[in-house]
Amino acid sequence: MANVPSLERSRACVSCGTELAASLLVCPACGALVHRDRLTSLARDAASATAAGDHGRALGLWRETLSLLPEGTKQHASVAEQIGVAAAAGDAAVAAEVRKGPPPGSFWGKLLAPLGTAGLLIWKLKIVLIALLTKGKLLLIGLTKIGTLVSMLASFGLYWTIWGWRYAAGIVVSIYIHEIGHVAAMRRRGMAASAPLFIPGVGAFVRLHEHPSSPREDAEIGLAGPVWGLGTAAAALVVYLSVRSPFWLALAHTIGWITLFNLTPVWQLDGSRGFHALSRMQRWLMTALIAVVWLATREGLLVLLALAAGWRAFEKQPERRHDWTIFVYFAVVLAVAASLTLLRSR
């Protein structure tokens, strides 16, 4: 018989001695947290990691802490906030490293110091190149998984029979990069995620191995895919401006349309996750904004988005604070995607 991790075995409550099932996080008899000692240890280690500037380790520790707390409690909400703080601190640390020069006395400091301003620029270029290489490795993650490759080829074959191989390749690559956007957002927040899997004729998806810590985090992960996908549309436009081939303009238009469809706030689509963080008032405002964008573009798909957004504004939901950051994020992605659909008339 395989060994069972200690956190999964049945146990007695340390406060009242009640026998507890392995899945319980709170004692039903006395209300005590089942993993109280472990939670204390994790919080202490996370605080130490933060003090030492190891934000990646702190993020992982806070994530483990969150998994041991029941949802809807003040402790869960507090740790979710700490996860957001740790992720932001990690981003700020990278940005600060780009802004400042190499540490005095380090190898790079000694090497670049004689070059003055040029040396500082070389240092910043080094940081940027490392970031690009890291993203490059992330883009290749799915190509090392047999499931991703087989499903990707199946989708490519289907689209090839409909549109030809060049168009099929462009669509499959854009969908893949869209899904990698989700993976990148999850990895940045210390979350595990599967490689993308394609569903021929439908799209692709990434499996989450743990729940987002808050509605805002869920929205940020959901909207990261459309942002990365729009990056492929921008690349297609750059190529079009260079070679003036209508193919690249049509590809950019299609990517914009697919992105717009993904922003529909229903089911498991990215727009639904974006709406998760919006208050009722903000959902009505987004519905009105979608209507305005429809008046400007006359893109029929926006009618579907407006109907879905209005329905989501009517539905019952927990009271949420206004999250204007996510509102603006959603609005900008929506406007850019809708603008790309205008390319069809050229």
Look-up: residue for tokens 């992720």? 87
**320 and 278 in contact (C-beta within 8 Å)?**
yes
pLDDT at residue 228 in the model: 92
Identity of the residue numbered 89:
A
User: Within 13 Å and on the Cβ side, how many CA atoms surround 201?
Assistant: 3
pLDDT at residue 145 in the model: 83
User: Within 13 Å and on the Cβ side, how many CA atoms surround 252?
Assistant: 24
Sign of CA dihedral 27, 31, 37, 42: positive
* C-alpha to C-alpha distance for 342 and 345, rounded to whole angstroms: 6
Look up residue 117 and give its DSSP letter.
Answer: H
pLDDT at residue 93 in the model: 67
* C-alpha to C-alpha distance for 239 and 46, rounded to whole angstroms: 46
**42 and 65 in contact (C-beta within 8 Å)?**
yes
Number of C-beta neighbours around residue 270 at 10 A? 27
- Cα 247 from chain centroid? 30
Mean pLDDT by 10 residues, the chain (346 residues): 44 78 80 84 86 80 84 82 78 62 60 57 54 58 82 94 94 93 85 86 85 88 94 92 92 96 94 94 96 95 96 85 93 96 71
pLDDT at residue 2 in the model: 36
Sign of CA dihedral 41, 47, 49, 52: negative
pLDDT at residue 1 in the model: 34
Look up residue 33 and give its DSSP letter.
Answer: B
* C-alpha to C-alpha distance for 216 and 276, rounded to whole angstroms: 8
- Cα 295 from chain centroid? 30
Look-up: residue for tokens 């490689």? 195
C-alpha separations of 287 from 27, 197, 218 in Å: 44, 31, 20
pLDDT at residue 137 in the model: 62
Identity of the residue numbered 120:
L
**191 and 197 in contact (C-beta within 8 Å)?**
no
Task: State the greatest distance between any 2 C-alpha atoms of the chain, in Å, as a whole number.
Answer: 75
Domain ranges across the chain: 12-89, 145-207, 211-346
Buried b (16+ CB within 10 A) or exposed e, 163-183: eeeebbebbbbbbbbbbbbbb
Q: Which helix (H) or strand (E) holds 95?
A: helix 74-99
In sequence order, what DSSP letters do the residues of 226-268 get, joined into one string?
Answer: HHHHHHHHHHHHHHHHHH--HHHHHHHHHHHHHHHHHTS-STT
Residue 203 main-chain phi, psi, to 5 deg: 150, -130
* C-alpha to C-alpha distance for 56 and 52, rounded to whole angstroms: 11
* C-alpha to C-alpha distance for 126 and 132, rounded to whole angstroms: 10
- Which residues is 26 bridged to in the sheet? 33
* C-alpha to C-alpha distance for 117 and 239, rounded to whole angstroms: 34
